[in-house]
Amino acid sequence: MASIAAEIPPELMEAWRKPALIEWIRGTGLPARFKRKLLQDWGVAVGRELTAADYEAVTMGVTR
């Protein structure tokens, strides 16, 4: 099965684009658990460590 990170726009597939990625994920309308999984898959794909605040940001509307 393909990673859901394949759904992320290519221009967001760089570690420094985390704030833009969080905004994009927030706008997807996906359930919270899918938003968190999408963020997790992105972090693995680009080699970026994520914090609890990052996961909260995709579901609560706060960008960090």
CB 63 within 8 Å of CB 19: yes
Divide the 64 residues of the chain into consecutive groups of 10 and give the mean pLDDT of each group.
73 96 93 93 94 94 54
